[in-house]
Structure 1
């Protein structure tokens, strides 16, 4: 009897160990992952939908996002809701305390949309893979949804980038042409100091540089300009602008037509066109130019012209583009001494080179020009 009494608790304990269901079995783990991923996907889609609705005011993009959200909900209805809720354990989720600096690095709306799109796509993939362990038909539906999300998110991200660029362009008044500089360090310092002094747009124009040097400088310039809140444009070369992920390209009347430059760049980037008469202005607008340069207004030390359109051309552009407005920058020989003649024509945007680059104090020259444009 004594022996039996001593062993009985051991047998009971063994039985409990053998027959007690583990708290984290395979099915529960899958449901916990599915619940978290479903929430992330739905939140990401809603983030994108709100931008399409209130930012872009694009009913097609907003409707596409809404359709994705409802299709996700329909697919999730195949799963056991009670098991999803039971598996949820936010307090015990070790991931809630894991954070990176990038999670709070959202300098603009385009960054928010990009992060949301990546979150949705990754979450849908997780739903698809772990869903296979619960319901194969659910996984198939999620797979189809994931591919549609790729297409929709490509469109919305391009729209977000275009929104950022057009918004900055709309606010831009001072546009500066720069070359590659004597070194990368000098190039970077130029962009940083002059953006702080009021330059809104930088255009890389260097006829002496090799393609490789232009590309390398453009890559650096894009990053620095974005960090400074400025736009970075490449002169003439749509291929380099695209490869370096620049904000756009600027073409003249002898270079690639604007409509072809747009075809090279695709959506989301800016195309600017230099114009010298009103017919060219109307053609640039018809070709979909995002902005135009108008001139030459005065003789220039940077580029020679057989004739100068002068301030009369600026007045004509100001009057004749009221119905089809585009940001228009006066170009050619503009400096602090003749700036008032430009603004008198209704132009409060200028593109310059020597007025800043050749000044004894380029930053001071930039500030002076900006004051003359915006007061």
Structure 2
């Protein structure tokens, strides 16, 4: 992404379809191998999230992030950084995803520039409205189902919040996150999400490319059914 203009909602909805999130602690294999397989399988967006016990810091984190970003660039898939604004700036990443305890989207926008993607986690209507007011491009909504991938996960919401946001007229791109698998992804899209975020469902899969490909097919099918 080299254009300085803000990404359109239509383009972002397409990018959110199969949104893979991963760091070294999530992988059984080398992270570069995992990401390469996921990219081959057709993931549409990647977020580098290096958190948890044994996570890399400093130069090790920077070098891993840079190598993974290069893989994304080679496949034409945007590379998003989780939380770490300084890392996103240093890499000239395609964007950043932040939580409720991080800097507001407006301040991040001023530092990153208009052409970058800014996502914000939202766990209720008020958080969603504030994030939109602050200038978020999309919202990560969840956790939809129980998850072990995030130690700081909020209470499970099911698809209720996604449905509520759509019923309240919120039309910003939404991606569901938390415990999503091939067997439970359909209700997330049916509720109004534009895509699904996945960590362990892809990172821990035995056949990573095939699994990613299966998620792409499932989301496309459900979007067609929803019309």
State TM-score, norm by structure 1: 0.53
Q: Which runs of 4+ in 1 moved over 4 A?
A: 165-168
Cα distance in 2 for residues equivalent to 1:354 and 1:257? 28
- For the residue of structure 1 that corresponds to 2:101, the secondary structure is coil
Cα distance in 2 for residues equivalent to 1:337 and 1:188? 27
Q: Contact (CA 8 Å) 2:25, 2:50: kept in 1 or not? A: no
Partner of 1:319: 167
Q: Contact (CA 8 Å) 2:123, 2:154: kept in 1 or not? A: no
Residues 182-222 of structure 1: CA distance to partner in whole angstroms, max 9, x if unpaired?
99x93333333211212111111112210322222222222
Q: Contact (CA 8 Å) 1:331, 1:351: kept in 2 or not? A: yes
Cα distance in 1 for residues equivalent to 2:179 and 2:26? 24
Indicate whether 1:249 and 2:92 are aligned: no
Structure 1 unaligned regions, length at least 5? 1-107, 111-156
Give 1:181 shift: 6.8
Indicate whether 1:201 and 2:49 are aligned: no
Figure out how many residues of one structure are paired with residues of the other and give that number.
215
- For the residue of structure 2 that corresponds to 1:249, the secondary structure is strand
2:76 maps to which of 206, 213, 229: 229
Q: Contact (CA 8 Å) 1:174, 1:201: kept in 2 or not? A: yes
| Structure of greater Rg | 1
Q: Which has the higher strand share?
A: 2
Residues 281-328 of structure 1: CA distance to partner in whole angstroms, max 9, x if unpaired?
111111100111001111101124352222111111222244xx3221
Give 1:267 shift: 2.5
Q: Which has the higher helix share?
A: 1
State TM-score, norm by structure 2: 0.85
1:176 maps to which of 1, 10, 20: 20
Q: Contact (CA 8 Å) 2:34, 2:203: kept in 1 or not? A: no
- Indicate the larger mover: 173-182 or 202-211: 173-182
RMSD, aligned CA: 2.4
Give 1:167 shift: 6.5
Give 1:168 shift: 4.8
